[in-house]
Structure 1
Amino acid sequence: MGILEDKSNAQFFYKYLSKVYDQVNRINWTEEMRSEALEWLEFGANDRVLDVGCGTGFGTAGLLEYADNVHALDQSIHQMENAFEKFGKQGQVTFHMGDAERLPFTDNTFDIVWSSGSIEYWPNPIQGLKEIRRVAKPGGQILIVGPDYPSNPILQRAADAIMLFYDKDEADYMFTEAGFVDFHHYIQQASSRSPRAITTVARVPDENIQTHESFAASP
C-alpha cells in the first residue's frame, strides 16, 4: 500500500496541497481530457449525478455542464472549502463529507457516478467500486479516472511507494471483483510527456446487460 492510500496521510497531504491543487492538477488532468471523458457518458434530462472524491470541484464543474442535480462528496474539508468558494455551500451542488468506501447514500440513488483523481487514494479500491455500484441505479453509468501504471521500472517503484497506480489488467480485475461486467478502459494523456490516465466507463449490471470489455487508446 502506498503512503497516500492511508486515509490520515491523505488528509494531511491535502491540507497543504489544496492551496495549489487546481494549478497542479490541470497540468495532467486538463479541461480537454475532462470534456472528452464527459462525452463518453449519456446524460438524461433528470439524471441525479454523484462526484466521488470531488476535491476542489474540477470534475464537478464539468458535470454541471450536463446535469442540474449534482452531488459531490469528499473526505477532505480543505479540498471542499475550495469547492465551496466556486459553487457555494448551498448552491448548484449538494455537498457531502464522506468516505468512498462507505458512501452515505441508499441503494440505487444515482443515474451517473463520476470519480476523477480519487481511486488512487482508496485503501480498498474494490470496496469503493462496490459502494459506487451499490448507490448507482441498475443500468446506470460509472466513470472512474485513475493513474495508469508507468512502464519505466524506476517510476514503477516510486509509484508503488506513493499510491495506487494500475494497468488495464488490474483494472479488469478490480471492476470484475466489484461486480461489473460491462466496462471499457480508455487511455488519456495531456501531452506525450505527461503521466497517463486510465479512464473506465462502466454500466451497473442488470438482467439485460451482457459481458463486454474493451481497451482503447484515446486518439
Structure 2
Amino acid sequence: MGILEDKSNARLFYKYLSKVYDQINSFNWNEEMRAEALSWLEFGDDPKVLDVGCGTGFGTEGLLEHADDVHGLDQSIHQMEKAFEKFGRHDRVNFYRGDAERLPFRDDAFDVVWSSGSIEYWPNPVEGLRELRRVAKPGGQVLVVGPDYPHNPVLQRVADAIMLFYDADEADQMFAEAGYEEFEHHIQQATPQSPRAITTVARVPGGDEADDADGDEADGDETNADE
C-alpha cells in the first residue's frame, strides 16, 4: 500500500496541495480530457449526479454542464473549501464530507456516479467501487478516472510507494470483483510527456425501470461551515 493510501496521510497531503491543486492538476487532467470523459456518459433527462472525491470541483464543474442536480463528496475539507469558492456551499452543488468506501447515500440514488482522481487514495478500491455501484441506479453509469500504471521500471517503484496505480488488467479484476458486468477502459493523456490516466466507464447491472427514490441524499449530512 502506498503512503497516500492511508486516509490520514492523504488528508494532510491535500491540506497543503489544495492551495495550488487547480494549477498543478491541469498538467495531468485538463478540460479537454474531462470533456472527452463526459462524452462517454448518458445523462438523460433531469439526471441526479454524484461526484465522489470532488476535491476542488474540477470534475463537478464539467458535470454541471450536463445536470442541475449535482452532489459532491470529499474527505478533505481543505479541498472542498476551494469548491465552495466556485459554487457556494449549498447553492449549485450539495456538498458532503465523507468517505468513498462508506458513502452516506441510499441505494439506487444517482443516475451517474463520477469519480476522477480519487481511487488512487482508497485503501480498499474494490470496496469503494462497490459503494459507487450501490448508490447508482440500475442501468446507470459509473465513471472512474485513475492513474495508469507506468511502463518505466523506475517510475513503477515510485508509483508503488506513493499510491494506487493500475493497468487495464488490474482494472478488469477490480471492477469484476466489485460486481460490474459491463465496462470499458480508455487511456487519456494531456500531453505525450504527461502521466496517463485510465478512465473506466461501467454500466450498473439492472434496467432503467428502477424507480427514483425520494430523498436520495437523506442519509448524507451536508458539510457545514465549521468543519
Q: Which runs of 5+ in 1 are unaligned?
A: 209-219
Residue in 2 aligned with 1:65? 65
- Cross-structure match for 2:98: 98
RMSD of aligned alpha carbons: 0.9
Number of the residue aligned with 2:172:
172
Give the aligned residue type for 2:130.
Answer: K
Higher relative CO (Cα under 8 Å, sequence separation at least 6) belongs to: 2
Query: What is the CA–CA distance in structure 1 between the aligned matches of 2:5 and 2:90, rounded to whole Å?
Result: 30
1:27 alignment counterpart: 27
| Match of residue 199 from structure 1 | 199
Aligned-pair CA distance for 1:76: 0.2
SS of the residue 2:187 aligns to: strand
Instruction: Kindly report structure 1 stretches of 4+ aligned residues shifted beyond 6 Å.
Output: none
Distance in 2 between residues matched to 1:65 and 1:164, nearest whole Å: 30
Aligned position for 2:147: 147
**1:157 and 2:157 aligned:** yes
* Aligned 1:70-89 pairs, distance under 5 A: 70-89=70-89
Listed as ranges, the gaps of 5+ residues in structure 2 are 209-227
Counterpart Cα distance in 1 of 2:30 and 2:76:
22
Task: Tell me the equivalent position of 1:122.
Answer: 122
Q: Contact 2:140/2:203 (CA < 8 Å) preserved in 1?
A: yes
The residue aligned with 2:42 is 42
SS of 1:50's partner is: strand
State how far apart, in whole Å, the 2-side matches of 1:207 and 1:81 are. 37
After superposition, the C-alpha distances for 1:174-198 in whole angstroms (9 at most, x for unaligned) are 0000000100000000011110000
| Deviation for aligned residue 1:202 | 0.4
Query: Structure 1: how far apart are the matches of 2:160 and 2:81?
Result: 30
Deviation of residue 206 (structure 1)? 1.6
* Residue equivalent to 2:219: none
Report how far residue 207 of structure 1 moved. Answer: 6.6
Distance apart, 1:203 and its partner CA? 0.5
SS in structure 2 at match of 1:28: coil
Give the alignment's TM-score, normalised by structure 1.
0.94
Q: TM-score, normalised by structure 2?
A: 0.91
Q: Secondary structure at the match of 1:27?
A: coil
* Alpha-carbon distance, 1:90 to partner: 1.5
CA distance, structure 2, for counterparts of residue 90 and residue 145 of structure 1? 26
2:50 touches 2:72 (CA, 8 Å); kept in 1? yes
Aligned to 1:13: 13
State the alpha-carbon separation in 2 of the partners of residues 67 and 185 from structure 1: 24
CA contact (8 A) 2:53 2:74 kept: yes
